[in-house]
Structure 1
Amino acid sequence: MDTLTSLRVFCAVAELKSFTVAADRLGLSPAMASKHVMHLESRLGTRLLNRTSRHVSMTESGMLYFNQTRQMLDGLDEVEAAVSNVTVMPRGTLKFSAPVWAANSLIARVLAEYQQRYPDVRFDMDLSGRIVNLVDEGFDLALRATAPERLDPSLVARPLMQVAFHLVGSPGYLSRTGRPTEVADLNGHALLAYSGMNMNGGLAIKGTEGPETVNFRPVMQSENEIMLHLAALEDMGLVFLPIWMTQNDIAEGRLELVLPKAVTFNATLHAVYPSKKYLSAKVRTFIDFIAARKNLCSAAAEEQSAGEVHSVDW
């Protein structure tokens, strides 16, 4: 039995969680698909898939084998396409990690547009906010907004676009505490802080009058920007958030920009992926698709300024 075919059958069954659906897609009978998987299990001496009458799931060994095998097959397809001058259409599961704040309507719209263009690609999106191990956990890529020096040097990092972050607060909070008119007025204000922010000694803000240190009063700290956003809407304090999360709230009066000319800053969104000579079609086209949509931040363009906040990492 051809082992390469068995590998493709195993990956299809693992992704689709069905022998019947995978067999139909590959032009095989379900019985033959099962034989291919059993061939691999016999060859490896371990069970790769748990099977019941209604459910198929990967074992721990199966997950490890799948993560490595899927990347190998993607690379093989790309090499063959390069040699034969044949275009490989993107297909399969695109597993990627992104910041929590990527859970917004603009990103959802981009994913929908991409999937309409490439309907054979399925998304497996991790929004936990943690720094995943791309290779060990089988991720195709990660979207990370941070300084280049903070990225793993063993990975490839392609800059995609600038994301504008603003300091915002609710009208209720600002009416109660007063609206700052200069950077010094921020001292003592309640801050809903992202866990990656270095609050020791305050935040260094370089405004139009030069660098100043602002000592906020942290009232909440979280790695989840959605929770910080909701807390700001409930009048708990000020928060730094990307314009993607707040532009509708600002337009409809639920949040207000605070000193946008002084404390707005931009973070570079990178596509990060393992170094490979041949990127799979799904990864390459997805990165290009995101990069071509820099107008996602067009709503923030008018608010950009020379000011920046240091020691912030998303």
Structure 2
Amino acid sequence: MGCDGGTIPRRDELVRLKKKPEQKDKDAERQFRWKHCNLTQERLQQPIVMCGLGRLYSKQNVIEHLLESKMPESCAHIKSLKDIKDLNLTANPAYEEAQDDKSAQFICALIGLEMSGQFRFAALWKCGCVFSERALKEIKDKNCSVCLTPFSEEDVVVLNGTEEDIDLMRTRMEARVARLKAEKKAKADKKAKSREQSHVATATVTASTSEKDAAEAGPSKPVTTGKPSGSTSLKPIIPNKRALISDKIGDDPTFKKSKQDYSVAKDPKATAVYKSLFTSHDSEKDQQRAHWVTYNPFYN
């Protein structure tokens, strides 16, 4: 039973036991979920969005699947862009893409914890700001510490949570959708009611105005139909406006001067010096005329 060197083998070294199933590397799986899109399993690219269950996606991939109507069953709750929320992430200044495994690309906006999966993170559905769960517990008032947007407990979405967290997020998502539908319905009812009240008020004002006008007009005279015998209907004579305007223009002295029969030499108001400037003056007859061979327009 002995071996070389005098060693004695143990039973577990001689009996073949059933191999244990290989276990997943939890750290690698956790890092994969925080750095890859839950829809296409590709590397996350900004803008990064989340759904109501806290899963991370690349917005471009979500839009492409919505347009093609090829959303998988795991993402069936995403029916439009209203079912996702853009995340306001804080970049990690110490992140280097070459050393991707050693650091995370994003950190908590308040206390600087890396968003690598080692710490629990949550986002606010109203504004999309992301915090670590430790920092979120330190917020006493229900206002976002980054953008000061008020929020409630049902607006908190745990990112990449456990199965229990996913069930809780699903309940909050359904409650949030129901609340939004109720608010939308109440707003529509209020708008319809105000429109109806405005119509009633307008009808009342119109009726009162017509009654007031009828009272001021007095009793209405009977309307006679047909032409009365022995009487002729006289139409009012409307003067021709164009004729009146032409008469006024004809009396204008400026208009008279523009006529062809008008002559400056015959104008009694024009002076002799002014008349001498025109060819109708008597001095024009004594003006020298050039020969037709040596024509000069100055003398003609």
Tell me the TM-score normalized by structure 2: 0.22
User: Which is higher, the Rg of structure 1 or of structure 2?
Assistant: 2
Higher relative contact order (CA 8 A, sep 6+): 1
